[in-house]
Amino acid sequence: MKLIRKAVIPAAGFGTRFLPFTKAVPKEMLPIVDTPTIEYIVREAIESGIEEVLIIINSEKECIRTHFGHNVVLENFLKSKNKTKELEIVEALPKQIHVEFTYQEEQLGLGHAVLCAENFANGEPFALLLGDDVYVGRKEPATKQLINAYNQTGSSILGTLVVPDEDVSKYGICKPRGTSKNSLVELESVVEKPAKEVAPSNLAIGGRYVLTPAIFDYLKTQTRGAGGEIQLTDSILRLMSKEKVYSLAIDGRRYDIGSKKGFLDATIDFSLKRSDLAEDMKEILNKHK
Ligand code: G1P
């Protein structure tokens, strides 16, 4: 069984839920306190043992690439001013991991974006992390939990969360095989954004996956599905005719950064967890009571 060494992060979408900000700046660069959302996602991958990361962007999103590279002018400036702490901050990530980029110029859907990672995966299973979902794992990072489950099963794993009935139509929804209440269960089917009347459960795909490379065979021939888009969920359903696919309930807190409420929640929560900001944030919150 091949180990999970690679992670793919799609980041080529328009971010229409966050206009007007996303007119000029990618939603992946929205800062949670002082760090772009996509950096938290890359850090989750590193903390999960990932060695190679691919980010899928488009030519309007070059600033994501800039963020993960060296900024020699800035580094030299900080050196000349003896700003060692700041220098460490800007140098840390490029030293830890090499991030690769590929381009998806047409926004045809998540399935189409993932297909752009075929050469990068090069026949290996890989982790997939969607940038709208930021997790704070309870004991381990969300992706690490999925990798552990993959190491146990050798199969594709979908990270899930339980959502209320009124929200099932916003997610890919899983139908477990049997009635087991275990956190790791084999799936019978998945359906993308079902109406609540026909949703098979409340188990939603939460933006974290481990996928075997067989997924690419199905993505290549995937026709358009929900919303007229090439849906990853539809290819995962077809993958189930060839291989077992499991879901794993992610143990941790999720923030939906793609929604304004989730973004504000993360901003407040992450500030309260920072020793340099917690007191200031408490003071601000008290003022607005
Ligand atoms: C995507 C997936 C969906 C998943 C969701 C999680 O949808 O297609 O299956 O549940 O991410 O955030 P999107 O939110 O991009 O429409």
pLDDT digits (tens, 9 = 90+) for 274-285: 999 999 999 999
Average of per-residue pLDDT across 83-101: 91
Reported as a single tens digit per residue, the pLDDT across 24-40 is 999 999 999 999 999 99
Amino acid code (one letter) for 208: R
Question: Do both 198 and 274 map to the same domain?
Answer: no
Please tell me the distance between residue 132's alpha carbon and the centre of ligand 1 in angstroms.
9
Which pLDDT band holds residue 12 (cuts at 50, 70, 90)?
A: confident
Ligand 1 pocket check for 205: Cβ under 6 Å = yes
pLDDT confidence of residue 78: 95
Are residues 134 and 268 part of one domain? no
Between 38-42, 59-63, 168-172, 205-209, the lowest mean confidence (pLDDT) is in 59-63
- Ligand 1 centre to CA of 281 (Å) is 31
Let me know whether 113 and 124 are in one domain.
yes
Atom of ligand 1 nearest to the CA of 133: 12
* Strands annotated E in 18-81: 31-32, 35-36, 52-57
Question: By mean pLDDT, which of 49-58, 90-99, 109-118, 128-137 is the weakest?
Answer: 90-99
Per-residue pLDDT band at 94 (split at 50, 70, 90): confident
Count up the domains in the chain and report the number.
Answer: 2
At 227-253, the pLDDT tens digits run 999 999 999 999 999 999 999 999 999
- Cα 208 to Cα 248: distance, rounded to the nearest angstrom: 10
Domain for residue 1, yes or no? no
Determine whether the shortest distance from the Cβ of 234 to ligand 1 is under 6 A: no
Ligand 1 atom 12 nearest Cα: 207
CA 115 to chain CA centroid, Å, is 16
Confidence of residue 16 (pLDDT cuts 50, 70, 90): confident
For the Cβ of 130 lying below 6 angstroms from any atom of ligand 1, the answer is yes
Residue 265 and residue 136 share a domain = no
Task: State whether the beta carbon of 190 lies less than 6 angstroms from ligand 1.
Answer: no
pLDDT of residue 177: 95
Q: What is the mean pLDDT of the segment spanning 124-134?
A: 96
Is there an atom of ligand 1 within 6 Å of 99 CB?
A: no
User: What integer pLDDT is reported at residue 15 of this predicted model?
Assistant: 85
Give the mean model confidence (pLDDT) for residues 7-13: 94
Residue 17 is part of which domain span? Answer: 6-258
CA angle 286, 288, 289 (to 5 degrees): 65
Q: 110, 162, 191, 232: which to mutate for ligand 1, most atoms within 8 A of CB?
A: 110
Mean pLDDT of 125-149: 96
- Give the mean pLDDT of 13-18: 86
Are 253 and 278 contained in the same domain? no
pLDDT value of residue 2: 80
Q: Of how many residues is the chain composed?
A: 289
Together in a domain, 157 and 266:
no
Asked whether residue 197 falls in the same domain as residue 271, the answer is: no
Q: Are residues 75 and 158 in the same domain?
A: yes
CA distance 75 to 61: 22
Confidence of residue 194 (pLDDT cuts 50, 70, 90): very high
pLDDT at 160 over 90: yes
Q: Is 132 in the pocket of ligand 1 (CB under 6 A)?
A: yes
